[in-house]
Amino acid sequence: MRWPGALPLATFLTSPQQTNTPNDSGNQKQERWVMTLERQWENALLSVDFARRHRSADSFQDYGYSFTESNRSDSVSYQLSPRILWNGNWDGAAVSTVFGADFAQWDYARLSNFSGSISEEKGHQTSHALYLRTDVALTSQLRINAGVRNEKFSHQIDNLSSGTRLRSEPSLSAAELGLSYAFMQSWNAYARLASSYRVANVDELRYLSAALEPQTARDLELGLRYQAGNMNYGLRMFAQRTRNEIAYDNRVFANINLDPVRRTGVELEGGMQLMKQLKLSTVAQVISAELVEGAYSGNALPLAPKSTVLLRATYDVAPGHTVDASFRSVGSAPFGNDWTNSCSSSVPHANFLDLGYRYKAQASAGWSAFVGVDNLLDEQTYSVGYTNSSCSAYNVYPDAGRRVKASASYRF
């Protein structure tokens, strides 16, 4: 793949297909193998997954003035995931429970050459987790689900050229509790509480002198669903509070842990079968993302769109043949580095039209195919851009224009 790089905003507005980095490029190769073993009893299923992934990547960047950088990285990961699923009845309630474990190992090596200066990096990570999730239908109307996961990480990255080492061993937990209630035949109300976590990967830790803190989040979601005949609708309200969110900061050219971030929003979705062949569906979301502590408390999070809308029409031309058209709209967002929200310019909203054709064999065996065009009207947009401290200069990364894609598969 070629890397077009960033453009000054004024250049993008007049010549969005231009590049100031015509020599930059990269390539990537990935191989993944998965094996699953299963054993079924009357009410229980034992399943064991084993996976291996090998990923290699090369890159070249020309900075000008005879400064160049080339990189090669290789990583190999293994994962073993045994679990047991039990479905049955307990004291009159239908119960579905899964108990499992995940064991993972990851090894990484990277060699960098910056204009003759060699840097070598190696990384190693192991993790092991236990989890339990239960879904209980107390009655035909009332359902409860709950889950918990605990995971222990051991992460080490060594820069063999400088002698520096990043090491962390966090132990993290996640949990979920949900309740849903069906009423008035066609209505369902639900509530959900959850906590989650994420640790930084090796690319996010590069150029740092100390490991980043794990990212953690707490979620609250309330929703209402309606389904009757050929119509279905859903409304959900959500709130999330994230601590130590991992994000790229262009001011220091590295990733950082953000001050606490709060996201609140409303999402509306719906679908309607207008006739036997034609279906309409929509998803619309309005979201507010702001920092709630620290120097920029109360300000909107840079590069976080305020709204998204998707409208889709699907038409069955003939058995196995489907045509769909979609309208996508992505709202505006503050520029990256505009932590004070003081810049008059922002990443603008963008609208897209997509078309697609699908074919699926009606028999159990046969061909399936898809041909589609994203951004049919070739809108020239960008979703990532950065400004300086005085809001006097903007660099943006143009999004891809019109994209044609096709795929085919054969089932036998």
**For the domain that residue 152 is a member of, what is the CATH number?**
2.40.170.20
Helix, strand or coil, per DSSP, at residue 275? coil
Query: Can you tell me the distance from the alpha carbon of 103 to that of 33, in angstroms, rounded to the nearest whole number?
Result: 16
Q: Is residue 404 part of a domain?
A: yes
* 341-382 pLDDT per residue, tens: 999 899 999 999 999 999 998 888 899 999 999 999 999 999
Helix, strand or coil, per DSSP, at residue 332? coil
Q: What is the model's pTM?
A: 0.89
Neighbours of 395 (CB within 10 A): 21
In which band, very low, low, confident or very high, does the pLDDT at 79 lie, cut at 50, 70 and 90? Answer: very high
In the block, tokens 């976590």 appear at: 197
Q: Is residue 1 part of a domain?
A: no
pLDDT at 252 over 90: no
- Which runs of E-coded beta strand occur in 301-363? 307-318, 321-330, 350-360
Q: Name the strand (E) or helix (H) holding 202.
A: helix 202-205
pLDDT on residue 250: 84
CA distances from 288 to 41, 242, 367 (A): 48, 13, 44
pLDDT on residue 36: 97
pLDDT on residue 340: 92
Query: Can you tell me the distance from the alpha carbon of 71 to that of 202, in angstroms, rounded to the nearest whole number?
Result: 14
pLDDT on residue 164: 86
pLDDT at 388 over 90: no
Query: Can you tell me the distance from the alpha carbon of 364 to that of 288, in angstroms, rounded to the nearest whole number?
Result: 46
- What's the total number of domains in the chain? 1
Q: What is the dihedral of CA 183, 185, 186, 190, to 10 degrees?
A: 20
The answer to whether 277 touches 316, Cβ cutoff 8 Å, is yes
Q: Is residue 2 part of a domain?
A: no
Helix, strand or coil, per DSSP, at residue 10? helix
Tell me the CA end-to-end span of the chain in Å, nearest whole number: 34
Residue 41 sits in which domain range? 7-411
Q: Is residue 342 part of a domain?
A: yes
Neighbours of 403 (CB within 10 A): 13
Query: Can you tell me the distance from the alpha carbon of 279 to that of 269, in angstroms, rounded to the nearest whole number?
Result: 14
Query: Can you tell me the distance from the alpha carbon of 321 to that of 9, in angstroms, rounded to the nearest whole number?
Result: 43
Mean pLDDT to the nearest integer, 246-274? 93
Mean pLDDT to the nearest integer, 292-307? 95
Q: Is residue 16 part of a domain?
A: yes
Q: Is residue 281 part of a domain?
A: yes
pLDDT on residue 132: 98
Phi, psi of 45 (to 5 degrees): -130, 120
pLDDT at 202 over 90: no
Structure tokens at 131: 């989890």
* 151-163 pLDDT per residue, tens: 999 999 998 888 8
